[in-house]
């Protein structure tokens, strides 16, 4: 079947990256059933021919107003779709949508009329905020990383500073590759507007990765691979912490002086 990806090498690479990340999420056990979501702002790759495509479904209301996303294009995971299926067939388990000029509705333009995730309003609200604030981030990822979620079952680690410091101190690369740390959001009903608002508020406090208590992670970055990498390095630190605890001792962690040395050497913001 013909695909909008056929003649568009750069857009194809973006979607291939989404599929690759989806396969990692499944392999890591972070994406049971239809768990997790991916949205990528693909507007830079929407050429005139793609912009001229008629809708194959819609218009539908977004459920929120996104004035900074008028005439923008997104790849969005489909509602009820599984990451492990998306990894093999991204255009059958997700779709490319166009936000209409009213900033209130969208239509599906390719390849199939796959309805977007129910998280579309909260994801688009984040993308709208990213554009409004001049952020270079264009991809958002929600997933269920096992060890990071386990940490949130302990009050002690629901403090952003405490959790970030511990994770940074497990291995030097974590601070270098997730330099803003981990913002914590207390438990709220999944898909609720309260959770969406708390997520935006935490991103605005200068975090790229937000942890939802007893649920999962929401991350933004320049592309979907970079968003995955930030979660991956943080979860690796949580795994090292867990491994030390499983060996029967509290891990020592890097000292404050060693972490400060990292910040100076690599020009890190915190
Ligand atoms: Zn979830």
Instruction: Determine if the peptide bond prior to 59 is cis (ω within 30°).
Output: yes
178 CA to centre of ligand 1 in angstroms: 21
DSSP three-state, residue 108: strand
212 CA to centre of ligand 1 in angstroms: 9
Q: Which residues pair with 212 in a beta bridge?
A: 185, 216
| The pLDDT value given to residue 95 | 98
30 CA to centre of ligand 1 in angstroms: 10
Cβ atoms < 10 Å from Cβ of 91: 20
Could you give the CA distance from residue 59 to residue 150 in angstroms, rounded to a whole number?
40
H or E element: which one contains 116? none
| The pLDDT value given to residue 106 | 98
Could you give the CA distance from residue 197 to residue 8 in angstroms, rounded to a whole number?
36
Per the residue annotation, which of 119, 147, 173, 261 is the catalytic one? Answer: 119
Helices (H) and strands (E) in the chain, counts: 10, 9
Q: Which residue from 107, 16, 13, 12 is spatially nearest to 56, judged by alpha carbons? A: 107
Could you give the CA distance from residue 107 to residue 99 in angstroms, rounded to a whole number?
7
H or E element: which one contains 143? strand 139-143
Pairing label, strands 182-185, 209-212: parallel
Question: 61 and 104 in contact (C-beta within 8 Å)?
Answer: yes
Task: For residue 202, give every residue at least 6 positions away whose Cβ sits within 8 Å of its Cβ, in sequence order, or none.
Answer: 183, 184, 185, 210
**Is there a catalytic annotation at residue 261?**
no
108 CA to centre of ligand 1 in angstroms: 24
The pLDDT profile of the chain, 270 residues, written as one tens digit per residue, is: 799 999 999 999 999 999 999 999 999 999 999 999 999 999 999 999 999 999 999 999 999 999 999 999 999 999 999 999 999 999 999 999 999 999 999 999 999 999 999 999 999 999 999 999 999 999 999 999 999 999 999 999 999 999 999 999 999 999 999 999 999 999 999 999 999 999 999 999 999 999 999 999 999 999 999 999 999 999 999 999 999 999 999 999 999 999 999 999 999 998
| The pLDDT value given to residue 137 | 98
The structural domains of the chain, ordered by start, are 1-144 (3.40.225.10), 159-270 (3.40.225.10)
Question: 187 and 176 in contact (C-beta within 8 Å)?
Answer: no
| The pLDDT value given to residue 19 | 98
Could you give the CA distance from residue 157 to residue 166 in angstroms, rounded to a whole number?
9
Question: 128 and 137 in contact (C-beta within 8 Å)?
Answer: no
184 CA to centre of ligand 1 in angstroms: 15
Pairing label, strands 37-41, 73-77: antiparallel
| The pLDDT value given to residue 1 | 78
The strand order across the sheet containing 105-110 reads 57-61, 105-110, 94-99, 73-77, 37-41, 139-143, 216-221, 209-212, 182-185
249 CA to centre of ligand 1 in angstroms: 31
| The pLDDT value given to residue 53 | 97
Could you give the CA distance from residue 50 to residue 54 in angstroms, rounded to a whole number?
9
Instruction: Return the CA Rg of the chain.
Output: 19
DSSP three-state, residue 195: helix
Could you give the CA distance from residue 69 to residue 176 in angstroms, rounded to a whole number?
31
pTM above 0.85, yes or no: yes
């Amino acid at each position: 079947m013909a695909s909008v990806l056929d003649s568009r090498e750069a857009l194809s690479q973006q979607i291939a990256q989404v599929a690759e990340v989806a396969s990692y999420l499944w392999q890591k056990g972070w994406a049971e059933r239809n768990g997790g979501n991916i949205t990528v702002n693909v507007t830079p790759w929407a050429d005139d021919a793609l912009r001229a495509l008629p809708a194959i479904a819609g218009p539908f209301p977004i459920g929120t107003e996104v004035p900074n996303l008028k005439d923008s294009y997104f790849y969005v995971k489909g509602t009820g779709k599984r990451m492990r299926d998306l990894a093999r067939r991204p255009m059958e388990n997700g779709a490319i949508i166009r936000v209409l000029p009213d900033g209130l509705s969208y239509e599906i333009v390719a390849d199939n009329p796959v309805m977007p995730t129910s998280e579309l309003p909260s994801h688009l609200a984040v993308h709208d905020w990213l554009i409004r604030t001049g952020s270079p981030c264009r991809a958002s990822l929600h997933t269920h990383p096992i060890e990071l979620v386990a940490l949130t079952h302990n009050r002690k680690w629901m403090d952003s500073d405490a959790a970030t410091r511990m994770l940074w101190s497990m291995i030097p690369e974590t601070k270098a590759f997730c330099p803003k740390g981990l913002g914590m959001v207390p438990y709220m009903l999944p898909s609720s507007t309260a959770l969406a608002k708390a997520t935006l508020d935490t991103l605005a406090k200068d975090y790229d990765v937000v942890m939802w208590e007893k649920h999962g992670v929401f991350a933004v970055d320049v592309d979907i691979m970079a968003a995955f990498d930030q979660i991956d390095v943080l979860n690796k630190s949580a795994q090292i912490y867990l491994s030390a605890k499983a060996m029967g001792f509290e891990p020592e962690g890097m000292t404050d002086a060693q972490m400060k040395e990292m910040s100076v050497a690599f020009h890190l913001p915190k």
